[in-house]
Amino acid sequence: MATTENAESGSPENKVDRGTADPDAKYPLKVLYCGVCSLPIEYCEYMPEPAKCKQWLEKNFPDVFARMTLENAPKQETGSGETPAAGEEEEKKKQKRGGRGQIKQKKKTVPQKVTIAKIPRAKKKFVTRVCGLATFDIDLKEAQRFFAQKFSCGASVTAEDEIIIQGDFTDEIIDVIQEKWPEVDDDSIDDLGEVKK
């Protein structure tokens, strides 16, 4: 019973410190959420496309939009004399996910060569390794499914540009590759024979 009396009387022990919050705000606060990014409108500027959020806010809540633009106006610097265009300013603010922009790596000029090798497994069992199909822009997953279906065996993509087929298919695979992918000519295929792993 003593705790409710203290809360009603407004003793300093039970008052909530609201820090630097707005003194005329009525609690509990009603938060306005953006219809574009679904965050509170104060956080729209941190989203990938704040211009769309501003357009939505101006269309649906013009009074709140006007109040927010007035609050943001004094914060801008006026010392330089030249003001950047609105599009340039937003472009500077906008940051792609992942921090710095992705650096496009140059494609290495790898010679277009397909190598086929027979690798021994256990006793008299072998696997066939096909490397270099990616240099001809052939999808390795699609090629793996094709080999597995064509030879009725297991096949898997094991490395960046390597397909392992269970069984010894070194004789038939050259004709199959040329038949399926005509851009791979006979000079581009190199049969290494039996190699150790």
Could you give the domains of the chain? 27-72 (no CATH), 114-194 (3.30.780.10)
Give the phi and the psi of residue 115 in degrees, each rounded to 5.
-115, 140
In this prediction, residue 103 has a pLDDT band, given cuts at 50, 70 and 90, of: low
Q: Give the integer Cα–Cα distance in Å for 116 and 170.
A: 7
Both structure tokens of 83: 């003001």
Query: Is 0.85 topped by the overall pTM?
Result: no
Model pLDDT, residue 53? 87
Model pLDDT, residue 127? 92
- Please name the helix (run of DSSP H) or strand (run of DSSP E) that holds residue 114, with its range, or none: strand 114-120
The answer for residues whose C-beta is within 8 angstroms of residue 89's C-beta and 6 or more apart is none
Q: Give the integer Cα–Cα distance in Å for 195 and 174.
A: 17
Given a cut of 70, whether residue 79 has pLDDT beyond it is no
- For range 16-29, the mean pLDDT: 70
Looking at 10-132, list the stretches that DSSP marks H as alpha helix, in order from N- to C-terminal side: 50-60, 62-72, 86-93
The answer for residues whose C-beta is within 8 angstroms of residue 93's C-beta and 6 or more apart is 45, 50
Given a cut of 60, whether residue 69 has pLDDT beyond it is yes
User: What percentage of the chain carries pLDDT values higher than 90?
Assistant: 10
Q: Give the integer Cα–Cα distance in Å for 173 and 175.
A: 5
* DSSP classification of residue 133: G
Q: Mean pLDDT score of the chain, rounded to an integer?
A: 76
Q: Give the integer Cα–Cα distance in Å for 186 and 188.
A: 5
